[in-house]
Amino acid sequence: MEHLEMVNEVKHQRIKANGIWLHVAEKGTGPLVLLLHGFPELWYAWRHQINYLAQHGYHAVAPDLRGYGDSDSPIEPTSYTCHHLVGDLIALLDHFGEQQAFVVGSDWGSTIGWHLSLFRPDRVKGFVALGVPYHPRSPTSKTVETIRKLFGDQSHVCQFQEPGRAERAFARYDYLTVMKKFILMINTDFLASPEGMELIDFLPTPSVVPSWITEEELTVFADKFQESGFTGPLNYYRAMDLNWELLAPWQGSKITVPTKFIAGNKDMAFDLETFGTKAFVESGIFKSLVPNLEVVIIDGHHFIHQEKAQQISDEILSFIRKFPPNASI
């Protein structure tokens, strides 16, 4: 129950940022550490790290990203481009009066962190990416087309493209079941269902909740998604091809920000051979795109900041402690 008491000490506010209202949870004082969640999560995914970083002299700030939780959720997928999402973060840094912050991202939060580091390296002191490495933009194929070629129409990215489709499929289940299907997922296959089947129907519902999370914690996510729905989060996928167009000016760019990449060895996004992430990370190609990089592979799955909370907290702290206070890169 300790973490539930800790969550009560977290300060909440809504901030006008980049034309929308963003809800942030924060704790502690000191250098700013921005914690960016993934799909389908909320600020609450960082409950362990917020407390730990605050205890160690940092100002931990975890927003509900646009479209999630208590933040605004614009209707159109075109409001969820990499430029909008990075703009939200710049507005948060400005709100807190910080020229630079440490950034930690998981899943989509990692992707947004990579784009922030690409567009505005002057604002990022150091970046920790969980699960999703920096993938160079294909000069020839749009993102969804590339994924379709690799995994077919039944992949989650393809199924999520059509407005309303995934929302209708998810609605066949209660919100707690949807959370369990995603957050407790341990399959190492890429997220693709058999022909003619919706992904949410294909994902198993674990009968036992693992020791690293409680039913009560999962209910926090479920209750909030029941209020805010899934369209905002799904719009991130629906903007992927638009992102591909918008990223053309950065074709071939490198990420110069000091970065630590952490992946779980059983994370399907890392482990799956078809996707090639493991080979990409180990081959040296990744390092050539992100020259100031260290890589850590630990035992775990996709939502590793929740599953291996203490280990991830330690990894984040050991990285950000390398930077002297107030030193700009």
| φ/ψ of residue 92, rounded to 5 | -65, -45
- Ramachandran category for residue 276: left, alpha or beta (phi over 0 → left; psi -120 to 50 → alpha): left
Rounded-to-integer distance, Cα 319 and Cα 163, Å: 40
Catalytic residue among 64, 237, 271, 305: 237
Q: Helices 47-55 and 309-320, interaxial angle, to 10°?
A: 40
For residue 95, give the nearest of 24, 43, 47 by alpha carbon: 24
Catalytic residue among 64, 107, 267, 271: 107
The yes-or-no answer on residue 107 being catalytic is yes
The yes-or-no answer on residue 237 being catalytic is yes
The yes-or-no answer on residue 175 being catalytic is no
Task: Tell me the chain's radius of gyration from C-alpha atoms.
Answer: 18
Catalytic residue among 48, 84, 301, 302: 302
| φ/ψ of residue 60, rounded to 5 | -90, 125
Rounded to a whole number, what is the distance in angstroms from the first to the last CA of the chain?
40
β-sheet bridge partners, residue 251: none
Q: Per the structure block, which two tokens stand in for 212?
A: 């690293």
Active site residues: 107, 237, 302
